[in-house]
A and B are shown apart, each in its own frame.
Chain A
């Protein structure tokens, strides 16, 4: 499809496990964002990439969270030693350019449940 693709769609992890969430942005999109959405809340910003450069990681809640985009296209969000409070939907979004008013396209998210 032509949209932002995220996988897996659902992930169940035992507390303490490491997880990796994948985002395939729309082809050619320069900017890529990760957001965390807790149940019943709005999305909260985690991190932002422009091509392969991670320009803003101020929203990452702890050093257990790590994101990369090594070739400027696909991105992976990794959470180490997962905890119950990490349970949320993780949304990826991309935009074509870097202009601040550029429209964001969101994926359907990965729902992470930590038991």
Chain B
């Protein structure tokens, strides 16, 4: 079963607003990843984090790897309509295991 708790489950915001979502776990993860999934498509990688405390940006997206290695957050600034989709956090438990554990997703809707 899922080991990552992702929140919020859904968000409905106005265009131009900032968005924040996060993931927590009872387990320590080696790597944190954030993906976006559009309807009918597979997930697409947005940001990858490899070190505790790491803060990484990709355009309007910013993500951080929590210092305890048990959490991560994703911020989207100045949202636009094409940000609509489902955002998933994913973690890798250790370097020896390639499998990713995914959160249950945050569904984002943006009102133009």
Residue among B30, B41, B43, B105 with the most chain A CB within 10 A?
B43
The answer to whether A59 touches B2, judged by C-beta atoms less than 8 angstroms apart, is no
**In the complex the two chains form, is A44's CB within 8 Å of B45's CB?**
no
Chain B contacts of A62 at CB under 8 A? none
Count B interface residues, CB 8 Å: 27
B56 within 8 Å of A (CB atoms): no
Q: How large is the interface on A (under 10, 10 to 19, 20 to 34, 35 or more residues)?
A: 20 to 34
Measured between beta carbons, the chain A residues less than 8 angstroms from B99 are: 33, 45, 48, 56, 58-59
Q: Is the CB of A42 within 8 A of B41?
A: no
Q: Is the CB of B45 within 8 A of A104?
A: yes
Q: Across the interface, which residues of B come within 8 angstroms of A40, CB to CB?
A: 104-105
Which A residues are closer than 8 A to B by beta carbons? 4, 31, 33, 40-45, 48, 55-56, 58-59, 91, 93, 98, 100-101, 103-104, 106-109
Chain B residues with CB under 8 Å of chain A are 2, 4, 6, 30-31, 40-45, 48, 50, 88, 90, 92, 95-105
